[in-house]
Amino acid sequence: MNLPSPLTAFQRPPGSDATGPPEARGVARDAVKLLVAQPSGISHARFTDLGDYLRPGDLLVVNNSATLPAAVDGRRRGQPVTVHFSTARTANTWVVEVRPAGTATAHLPDIRPGERIDLPHGAALDVRSSYPVAGVEGARLWTARVAVEGGVPSYLGRHGRPIRYAYVPRQWPLSYYQTVFARRPGSAEMPSAARPFSTELVTALVAAGVVIAPITLHAGVSSAEAGEPPAPEPFEVPAATARLVNLAHAMGRRVIAVGTTVTRALESAADGRGMVIPRVGWTNLVLGPDHPARVVDGLITGWHDAGVSHLLLLEAVAGPDMVAAAYREAVDHGYLWHEFGDSALLFPAPTT
């Protein structure tokens, strides 16, 4: 499946990668920059100012998935590799990505079904088929049978580390990759839109009348190439959250998704009228021009690279013009990209 390119086009300047947690550069978790794009214009603030742009009765929906230490060293044909555990299909069958050892910027393109990859302490992967479509030459993701004692999450807890890419030059403890909402381990990479929330900020928002409700979506590896659709991911929208979303809309309140993962989960649980129903399952939903958002009225997000499917989702919520304007401002004002970077709050123009 080839995705159309999003309409938002931009070129990031050198030095726009967040190379580590903001705490490492003397900035509090909730003090990263926040760009607010709404019909009245674009403004610049800090994430601690989020409450200034919300109203009593607004519903924030957050992802309570916790991040796994999903990167493990391995050996393939005697050569060192890094295995990224992306998504559990069954207890012992996982979707994985295999890269050269270190923080290589690309997957190994010559993985084949039937290969064995050795892991520390006697564990191993037996590669089965490309994912999500079988029989693809040079695929990035593969299903693999995992031979390990005690279960994969326990094994990762002993031998894994957080997935890290080349723009982050040093390893950081797993705690830096967890949000304050993390309760259910399962994400290969942090649902990073919620990272700037602090306990103090959450308390202040609730005290001001903002409602917060959870979903769960376990995010897989995020290193999709330009034009590559997101892989299927497991999610749950609980009954209490579905009721709160529908009640908010019935009362004329806004539903604001904290992240693309939340947006994907809520929109996957919506019926044809835009009512959210409790749901547990897998989603392969791709929002875009042919599938606009029906549930989400606003979106808190980090900054995504040009050409990726996340931009289509942003455009489906806030509209291409709003998203394009936000990205122009972010580039002009030195915002930082990726999981440790700055944030945006996007509201669409009203429909006629």
Tell me, what's the pLDDT at 292? 87
> How far apart are the C-alpha atoms of 226 and 14, rounded to whole Å?
19
pTM of this structure: 0.94
Q: 254, 202, 214, 289: which is closest to 38 by C-alpha?
A: 254
Non-local CB neighbours of 186 within 8 Å, separated by 6+ positions: 65, 66, 68, 88, 216, 218, 234
Enumerate the domain spans of the chain. Answer: 22-67+172-346, 71-159
Q: 90, 94, 159, 99: which is closest to 123 by C-alpha?
A: 159
Q: Are 190 and 177 in contact (CB under 8 A)?
A: yes
Tell me, what's the pLDDT at 2? 46
Tell me, what's the pLDDT at 310? 85
SS3 content of the chain, % helix, strand, coil (to 5): 25, 30, 45
Per-residue pLDDT of the chain (352 residues), as tens digits, is 445 456 777 889 899 999 999 999 999 999 999 999 999 999 999 999 999 999 999 999 999 999 999 999 999 999 999 999 999 999 999 999 999 997 667 899 999 999 999 999 999 999 999 999 999 988 999 999 999 988 999 999 999 999 999 999 999 999 999 999 999 999 999 999 999 999 999 999 999 999 999 999 999 997 666 567 788 999 999 999 999 999 999 999 999 999 999 999 999 999 988 999 999 999 998 888 778 899 999 999 999 887 777 888 999 999 999 999 999 999 999 999 999 999 999 999 876 4
Q: Are 180 and 212 in contact (CB under 8 A)?
A: no
| The amino acid at 60 | L
Tell me, what's the pLDDT at 309? 78
Tell me, what's the pLDDT at 3? 53
Tell me, what's the pLDDT at 4? 46
**Architecture of the structural domain at 22-67+172-346:** 3-Layer(aba) Sandwich (3.40)
Non-local CB neighbours of 321 within 8 Å, separated by 6+ positions: 349
Distances (CA, A) of 261 to 38, 79, 84, 241: 21, 35, 19, 15
Q: 193, 167, 226, 201: which is closest to 301 by C-alpha?
A: 193
Tell me, what's the pLDDT at 90? 92
> How far apart are the C-alpha atoms of 309 and 263, rounded to whole Å?
13
Non-local CB neighbours of 308 within 8 Å, separated by 6+ positions: 224, 226, 228
Structure tokens at 161: 């580390």
> How far apart are the C-alpha atoms of 306 and 291, rounded to whole Å?
20
Q: 194, 278, 200: which is closest to 235 by C-alpha?
A: 278
